[in-house]
Amino acid sequence: MEYPLANLRVLDFSRVLAGPFAGRMLADLGADVVKIEPPDGDVTRLWGKIVANIPGYYHQQNAGKRNICIDLRAEGARDLVLDLVRRADILIENYRPDVMARLGLGYDVLAAANPRLIMLSISGFGRGGPESHRPAYAPIVHAEAGLMDRQARRGSIPPRDLPLSVADTNASLHGLVALLAAVILRERTGKGQHIDIAMIDATIATDDQVHYDLEDSEDTGPLRNDVWQTGAGPVLVSADFRHLWRRLTSEIGVHDPTHADMPLDEKIATRREIVRQFMAALATWDDVETSMARMGIAWGQVRQAHTLPMQPTVAHRAAIVEIDDRAGGTRPITQSPYRFSDAKSGVRGPAPHRGEHNHEVLEEWLSLAPEAVDALIAHGVVQRDSEVLG
């Protein structure tokens, strides 16, 4: 079996998450993804558990890539990048919209060097707009797109950020879809594309709840899912409470002591107390599963994330795998979710050190002699993490 994207060459100029995640997925699908990292490094090299001088956050988003460390402001760096661009299929960047142009590497320049190049630019507020100049990480977009306010209203809590970077990963995945669409289009036209993805666009487009806010119709939606405490632990029940109550009385045989003349608030409180007692009496997860199955109710264990490797489906599908930690052992990493009937996919190796593949990539992509690469290093155009690489 082959990787679907085995023949694609990708230059990944991005950092943090929105761009690197797209690059990681391309690498998992077989593309040769070369991360172009500045000498001061991706900021995510400061986050997470450090193993073999590679922190966990950086490792998760850059596994399977190769790495060249280029000082884009050094004399000769622009020419080197243009040489790489001539041999690339895709370029990913998530600087603010004016940065690549200021470096002399705007899309017009890159397309002149390689008309077939597909360039993905991800930014908080897109290109050419009133807020294009604003820097934006995921929490900024979570605030601007109304996610934090909705969470606060529905949860009756003070506004606070979400516990994952939805705005980044949504933009990344929408960018990935656009990239692959552009690859297909290029097969017909021979032309590349410049794709402009705004994180705020991607967040709104992927928000299945936004219509309630836009149409002031929150009261028309289903009741919120409840979390109940069972004897085995907390469980989320994905059912309108009214439906849960009907199933509990009809399928489990729970007695309903309420009557038509009872005040509504009292009726609701009485029924909820009965459900609370029923849930608390479920002593094991087998008891929970049996009861929910009898009622035909969807449910989920409210699980602590560190136990994910023990979640049955996660374990069965190897959604978290152990790979080489470059220190004589292994470390856990999330697996890409793609499962093909007759093709390979999946994480292909650990994340790279800065400049680890300077020689390897430049000799392979550009047919440079080792001495020519050494000269670039001597002039500070290309650098490497000497602490790790020697």
Any bridge partners for residue 50, and if so which?
Answer: 55
Residue 222: its pLDDT value, please? 86
Q: pLDDT at position 389, please?
A: 59
pTM of the model: 0.92
> Using CB atoms within 10 A of its CB, is residue 154 exposed (0-12), middle (13-18) or buried (19+)?
exposed
| Residue 358: CB atoms within 10 Å | 22
d(CA 258, CA 236): 25
Q: For the chain, which ranges sit under pLDDT 50? A: 390
pLDDT digits (tens, 9 = 90+) for 52-75: 999 999 999 999 999 999 999 999
Catalytic annotation, residues: 168
Note the pLDDT of residue 386. 72
Q: Residue 58 contacts by C-beta under 8 Å, 6 or more apart in sequence?
A: 42, 44, 45, 47, 48, 351
- The sign of the torsion formed by the CA atoms of 42, 48, 50, 56 equals negative
Write the DSSP assignment of 157-225 as a string of letters.
S-----SS-HHHHHHHHHHHHHHHHHHHHHHHH---EEEEEEHHHHHHHT-TTHHHHHTT-GGGSPPPP
Residues of CATH 3.40.50.10540 domain(s) within the chain?
Answer: 9-209+338-389
Spatial separation of the C-alpha atoms in residues 175 and 164, rounded to whole Å: 19
Q: 65 φ, ψ to 5°?
A: -95, 160
The β-bridge relationship of strands 118-123 and 234-238 is unpaired
Output phi, psi for 37, to 5 deg: -110, 135
- Superfamily the domain 9-209+338-389 falls into: Crotonobetainyl-coa:carnitine coa-transferase; domain 1 (3.40.50.10540)
CB-CB contact of 213 with 150 (8 Å): yes
The pLDDT of residue 70 is: 96
Q: Is 187 exposed, middle or buried (0-12, 13-18, 19+ CB in 10 A)?
A: exposed
Cα distances (angstroms) measured from residue 57 to each of 20, 75, 317: 11, 32, 22
pLDDT at 1: 83
